A and B are shown apart, each in its own frame.
Chain A
């Protein structure tokens, strides 16, 4: 049912949140640079980027803690300019959780409802409902200092959800949790978002987190959005070298375009003897143009025996390093040009006869559609 959800692809769909040409300057430095972005109702939207890329500033402008220097932000058709944080139908889960230390768990969750002037009985019902949602019924009377990190995170989530905001903002929601708990919580957040059918906007620097949870990801760099797409598109069809390198692992081969044959591009790289054949029909290139060929490590095949005479896309080198990760084995292959290629192989069977060893001469091949051409 998630698969069919793609309002961004429909021309009639009206975005819930609209950033139009938004700029934010702090003195001399530009945090957000003429940025436009649409987020649709019911989306699980991720802002992904390295620290200092402007993603947190963008979120804080939506919450009302920062005022844009230029441009407009609209939410459900309403221009948010001049609307203070306490009048916005948006709630935020803070990175530090920002739980009120002098209030119990239930008082924390009730805080927003009280501000809305909800009658006492209704507040109690809603708080109970929220506590059930995050499975903390037993800890209602505890204080934040008596809770574990994971429990605090749940209280913060319950508190932010209690007022039924139009949009829930999550600032690095899983940053303070350990790895195991983080993975569990990712799926829980997805379930909650799906069950409540709410719009979530998450800021994160963790690409795995973004890939797991998001319907769409906006990759940001230097205050600009580099690409907005589904996790699959971001990973398989990165628009720029920055994205290819930031999201997942990638091998980059510097090349020059030779020409097009039968719809396939022929490129020449110093790393391989024969020209490479790449299937990336959307690119518009001219011959002689310098390009980067990006290939994901898991899309390459490593073998000891030389491939047949008709084989394409063959790179030769020797095994430089082997890393055994349990589910995967990582081979670092040194090419004749001195470049190190990263090739991974799934360990599908428990025992392998005569496995590839250190310093062995190997051949690395890949299919034409395994690689992406990135025009510089």
Chain B
């Protein structure tokens, strides 16, 4: 195989990455714009970051977003891990295929439909929309991602480790906490980070289920952009991009390391 990059390969790589990341890069660059006009470069400045932190309503939205992301990611991690355990451990229970499909459904369902159906549900049970409805909606949306990540790890898990723990006198629950959990922990953390970032940047599901007093950062940014571009929003978006990137990268690294470990130990 030709391992060197040909001109064609380099060009397609550059165009591909430019297509994906140029708009984002532009946004980050313009967040350091000194000019008030979003589209005109007026020199480097960090003033909009300062302005952002003084902007009460944006900061409030960021705080709400963070709280929702933490809470929903925690709930999704617990539920998603349990689902992954059920799917890998209880071999062939009746309705297993249906259960698998149902767990993964939110992943492929259009977000508009997920958002709408949740909204209809909350209205039907007369649940006041706000902080809690967004949290629950995000839990529903992100749980399946945790399941996928944890399930991948459990597939390669050597069951004889658990048998060894039980053989040495540890009851099932203690076996889970002293052997199973520490070994699958990296994948659980990776799942949590994925759920967290998904919740952070979700607009569609959140806007369907938002209520008075609970506006998340993406909703806020979206509504502000409709009124006209502001450099503060650029700054807020740049920070959001940073958090999401960090989350996704660490999630990838963690789950990669966890699978590598399991493979090494299986040997």
Contact = CB atoms under 8 A, between A and B. Distances in A.
Interface of A: 63-65, 84-87, 90-92, 94-96, 98-102, 111-112, 115-116, 144-145, 159-160, 163
Nearest to B175: A86
B182 interface: yes
B162 to A, nearest CB: 9
A144 B166 contact: no
Question: 5 closest A-B pairs (Cβ-Cβ)?
Answer: A115-B169, A112-B168, A98-B164, A101-B265, A98-B160
A65 B158 contact: no
Given A111-B165, A144-B265, A98 B158 contact: yes
Contact of A112 (B158, B169, B171, B261): B169
B163 A145 contact: no
Contacts of B183: 101-102
**Which secondary structure dominates chain B's binding surface?**
helix
Given A86-B171, A145-B264, A163-B168, A102 B182 contact: yes
Interface of B: 158, 160-161, 163-171, 174, 178-179, 182-183, 261, 264-265
Contacts of B161: 98, 100-101
A92 B265 contact: no
A115 B168 contact: yes
Contacts of B167: 63-64, 85-86, 90-92, 160
A160 B169 CA distance: 11
A98 B163 contact: yes
B258 to A, nearest CB: 11
Given A144-B265, A145-B264, A92 B164 contact: yes
B179 A65 contact: no
A95 to B, nearest CB: 8
A82 B158 CA distance: 25
Contacts of A115: 168-170, 174
B261 A86 contact: no
A142 to B, nearest CB: 14
9 contacts: A87-B169, A92-B164, A100-B165, A101-B183, A101-B261, A102-B183, A144-B265, A145-B264, A163-B168
Contacts of A86: 166-171
Contacts of B178: 111
A288 B112 CA distance: 87
A48 B254 CA distance: 44
Given A96-B158, A98-B160, A100-B161, A145 B168 contact: no
A145 B261 CA distance: 9
A100 B160 contact: no
A100 B164 CA distance: 9
Nearest to A117: B169
B180 to A, nearest CB: 11
A154 to B, nearest CB: 15
A91 B168 contact: yes
B186 to A, nearest CB: 11
A305 B34 CA distance: 111
- A64, A86, A87 interface centre (most CB from chain B within 10 Å): A86
A23 to B, nearest CB: 22
Contacts of B169: 86-87, 112, 115-116, 163
A135 to B, nearest CB: 22
Contacts of A65: 163
A86 B164 CA distance: 10
Given A111-B165, A115-B170, 10 more contacts: A65-B163, A87-B169, A92-B164, A92-B167, A96-B158, A100-B164, A100-B179, A115-B168, A115-B169, A163-B168
A145 B164 CA distance: 17
Contacts of A91: 167-168
A102 to B, nearest CB: 5
B214 to A, nearest CB: 41
Contacts of B265: 101, 144-145
A26 to B, nearest CB: 12
B161 to A, nearest CB: 5
Contacts of A98: 158, 160-161, 163-164
Nearest to B159: A98
A94 B168 contact: no
Contacts of A101: 161, 183, 261, 265
A294 to B, nearest CB: 39
Contacts of B174: 115
- B170, B183, B264 interface centre (most CB from chain A within 10 Å): B170
A160 B164 CA distance: 9
A233 B245 CA distance: 71
Contacts of A112: 168-169
Contacts of B264: 145
A310 to B, nearest CB: 63
B158 A111 contact: no
Nearest to B162: A98
Contacts of A111: 165, 168, 170, 178
Contacts of B164: 92, 94, 98-100, 159
B181 to A, nearest CB: 10
B262 to A, nearest CB: 8
B163 A85 contact: yes
